[in-house]
Structure 1
Amino acid sequence: MHVARLSLHDFRSYPQLDIELDPGATAFIGRNGQGKTNLVEAIDYLSRLGSHRVASDAPLVRAGAEQALVRAAVVRDGREAIIEVELNPGRANRARINRSQVPRPREILGLVRTVIFSPDDLTLVKGDPSDRRRFLDDLLILRTPRLAGVRADYDRILRQRNSLLKTAGHARRGSSSQESALSTLGVWDSHLVEAGAELLEERLALVEGLRPYVGTAYEAVARGASRDDAHLAYKSSFDLEGATKRDELTTVLLAEIARRRDDELVRGISLVGPHRDELLLRLGDLPLKGYASHGESWSFALALKLASYDLLRADGDDPILILDDVFAELDTERRQQLAELVAGAEQVLVTAAVAADVPQALAGTRFLVAGGEVCRDG
């Protein structure tokens, strides 16, 4: 898979942009603040309908504009498709495939697949559990796009259930309003368990599949490391009692919800479910967070992304790999190691402040980015 053409209209700093891209390695070279990351951000947006830099779409629309457009010609297995998304902050976004509008933007998920690594990905190691849950769910959706609907359903159910817990918890004990809320809550318990068990089953299987790739990737990017040094494990918010399949997980989820009912009513929030789970990361016998050096943390975060890429390739896909301002953080030896690891990808997009930061193994097409202009170098 590779992007052959990228068109932007009022996206970030670009009023209008049209560039052609080649397979293989492409580097965007420019000083900070010139717009090179905006280019790869646009391509990544088509992959997951979200930015790796900001939580909402509003900052993606150029100041003074009402909407933005991202369009890409994507070549996969020799066939080209035009994928585009219209960003409308405060209103529903719209998406098209080959100029035909689809019912919901998430219908395009899976048509463009990217794995992006940037300095912000240190949050995978140093950030909150929600950052690691998001990492898992984003990868799940890349592999199985229909899970975007499952995750959206789960989030919607969770909001509704939390609202009911607050209502029931604040109502006078034994009153008709409390009884009504509790009765309705039982229905939403079932919905939460149905979506939650499916999401939990998929996450458990993903971590199991990702584990060996993380060890191999960490050995490759961390000097002197062994593949046995890096560990990851899924930690549920309660004892799963060995359950891994959806019907088993449904049973233990229902039982835990019943056990925690009084606590949930007092606190007015859902205390059981995959929204409270954690991805545990360790180096040797120690947790990564709080114990690892900056270099170890950086290497582990990079290993997680490289492992994601390798897992997708093992599925029979070859996603677009994006390395956003990565090489400036690495010494010459590790730059070369990383470049050799990824040089065989069908398309690698690199951003760098100076051309010297990009290793020779990724010497391909180069664009110079400055003052809102993107020009092919040579």
Structure 2
Amino acid sequence: MYLEHLSLTDFRSYAQVDLRFDPGVTVLVGSNGIGKTNLMEAIGYLATLSSHRVSADGPLLRFGTDRALIRAKLVRGEQSTILELEINGGRANRGRINRSNPVRARDLLGICHTVLFAPEDLALVKGDPSNRRRFLDELLVSLVPRHAATRSDYDRVLKQRNALLKSARAGKFTAGHEATLDVWDQHMARAGAELLHARLELVERLRPHLNSAYAQLTDGSKAADAVYRSTLQNMMDDDGEPAGASTAPSEPGQQAEDLRLLSVDDLAERYVQAFAASRRKELERGISLVGPHRDELELVLGQAPAKGYASHGETWSMCLSLRLASYYVMLDDARTGGSAPILILDDVFAELDVQRRRKLAAIVAGAEQVLVTAAVDADIPDELAGRRVKVIPGGIDEQG
């Protein structure tokens, strides 16, 4: 799949811009702050319904406007698809597919596939666990769009359960609330089990690709791995015995493999047990302490966690390897009927040393479509020779 045309209306700094793309490599060159990243952000948003730069939609709207519009024409083989996404300031976002009647925004998920590399990716290693959970969930939804509903259901139940726990902490908890909490425990156990089961399967798919990508980018002297740490395996009951799943592994990967032996029903039952074991502490603190919202994806380099132990160069290599691993997983799906993703490298090469630039460029150069942004041509390795587009204030200047 490749993007043939992109049109933006009132998105970020653009009142209106239209841009044509070709398969292969396209490099967008322009001064920092001129709007290159805004173009890449729009493509990424169309694929994931989220921005890699901000958590809310408000900043995506051009200042003084109340809606933005992203239009894109995607080509896959002999077929083309036109997607339109309306981002609204005060109401739900809406989409259109091939100019049909409006649909929910999330109905567009799974049509446009992207893998976006950006300087913000450093947070995948150096940031808090929420960054790594978001990475997993965005990839999960790209691969299996129905999991957008899985995540939404879990977030809704978590919000309701936390509201009830906060009421208890404020001294408003009654016997009736206890029964209500039991009901929410069941709902959250089911929603959490479905999300956890999907994440665990995804991590197992990512792990070999992560190690392979890290070896491609480095001298291969250290192995890269990812370990899913579930709150189910950290819970203890009042007697100090483990509540729920098995204990922590002795080596990377074992924990995730143990949990993968359980079905969604089994995981839901473990959650119910864990909620019961942690109820007293949750009532005291007024917050849900167990569930996928508190899990961690631990990145391991050699024998040590990457966070806090990896050098700056190793940290960058791990970030790039995570993105490459997601690219390889998408390619696996493309071989069985899915779509190969569009690769977006947003101002990444300026952050890398010459060796990593060349290795990354050599890896991605053969993709069906690669979109690259840079402040100057000198930042782009020779391996990514391709069409150049100059970005100017408020628009673009075609360079061939």
Q: Is this a same-fold pair by TM over 0.5?
A: yes
* Structure-to-structure mapping, 1:54-203, within 5 angstroms: 54-171=54-171, 178-203=174-199
Match of 2:278? 260
1:278 counterpart = 2:276:
no
Stretch of structure 1 that moved more, 329-338 or 77-86: 329-338
Match of 2:310? 292
2-structure distance, mates of 1:281, 1:359: 28
Match of 2:378? 356
2-structure distance, mates of 1:371, 1:87: 23
Cα offset, 1:360, TM superposition: 2.0
TM-superposition CA deviations, 1:122-160 (whole Å, max 9, x none): 000000101110011011001100000110110010000
Match of 1:312? 330
1:243 alignment partner AA:
L
For the residue of structure 2 that corresponds to 1:238, the secondary structure is helix
1-structure distance, mates of 2:375, 2:147: 37
TM-score, normalised via structure 2 length: 0.91
**Contact 2:83–2:98, Cα closer than 8 Å, also in 1:** yes
**Contact 1:67–1:89, Cα closer than 8 Å, also in 2:** yes
1:342 counterpart = 2:360:
no
**Contact 1:167–1:178, Cα closer than 8 Å, also in 2:** no
Cα offset, 1:115, TM superposition: 0.5
TM-superposition CA deviations, 1:308-364 (whole Å, max 9, x none): 001110112310010011111223332221111011111110000111211222111
**Contact 1:218–1:225, Cα closer than 8 Å, also in 2:** yes
For the residue of structure 1 that corresponds to 2:25, the secondary structure is strand
Cα offset, 1:169, TM superposition: 3.7
Match of 1:231? 225
2-structure distance, mates of 1:147, 1:69: 25
**Contact 2:46–2:112, Cα closer than 8 Å, also in 1:** yes
Cα offset, 1:183, TM superposition: 1.0
1:251 counterpart = 2:269:
yes
**Contact 2:232–2:270, Cα closer than 8 Å, also in 1:** no
2-structure distance, mates of 1:72, 1:5: 6
1-structure distance, mates of 2:126, 2:208: 22
2-structure distance, mates of 1:346, 1:86: 27
Cα offset, 1:251, TM superposition: 1.7
Match of 2:32? 32
2-structure distance, mates of 1:102, 1:305: 32
Cα offset, 1:101, TM superposition: 3.3
Aligned counterpart in structure 2 of residue 209 of structure 1, from 205, 217, 233: 205
2:361 alignment partner AA:
A
RMSD (Å) for aligned C-alpha atoms: 1.3
1:353 alignment partner AA:
A
1-structure distance, mates of 2:77, 2:343: 17
Cα offset, 1:104, TM superposition: 1.3
1-structure distance, mates of 2:69, 2:364: 30
2-structure distance, mates of 1:284, 1:361: 30
2-structure distance, mates of 1:89, 1:76: 32
For the residue of structure 2 that corresponds to 1:344, the secondary structure is coil
2-structure distance, mates of 1:170, 1:29: 56
For the residue of structure 1 that corresponds to 2:145, the secondary structure is coil
Cα offset, 1:77, TM superposition: 3.0
2:297 alignment partner AA:
L
**Contact 2:66–2:90, Cα closer than 8 Å, also in 1:** no
Aligned counterpart in structure 2 of residue 219 of structure 1, from 215, 219, 227: 215
1:372 counterpart = 2:388:
no
Mark the runs of 5 or more structure 1 residues left unpaired by the alignment.
none
Cα offset, 1:64, TM superposition: 1.7
Mark the runs of 5 or more structure 2 residues left unpaired by the alignment.
234-244, 247-257
**May I ask how many residue pairs the two structures share in their alignment?**
372
2-structure distance, mates of 1:124, 1:290: 12
Cα offset, 1:93, TM superposition: 1.2
TM-score, normalised via structure 1 length: 0.96
For the residue of structure 1 that corresponds to 2:15, the secondary structure is strand
2-structure distance, mates of 1:232, 1:370: 41
2:346 alignment partner AA:
D
For the residue of structure 1 that corresponds to 2:103, the secondary structure is coil
1:234 alignment partner AA:
Y
1-structure distance, mates of 2:279, 2:169: 10
Match of 1:42? 42
2-structure distance, mates of 1:60, 1:85: 12
2:161 alignment partner AA:
R
1-structure distance, mates of 2:30, 2:181: 55
**Contact 1:94–1:101, Cα closer than 8 Å, also in 2:** no
**Contact 2:390–2:397, Cα closer than 8 Å, also in 1:** yes
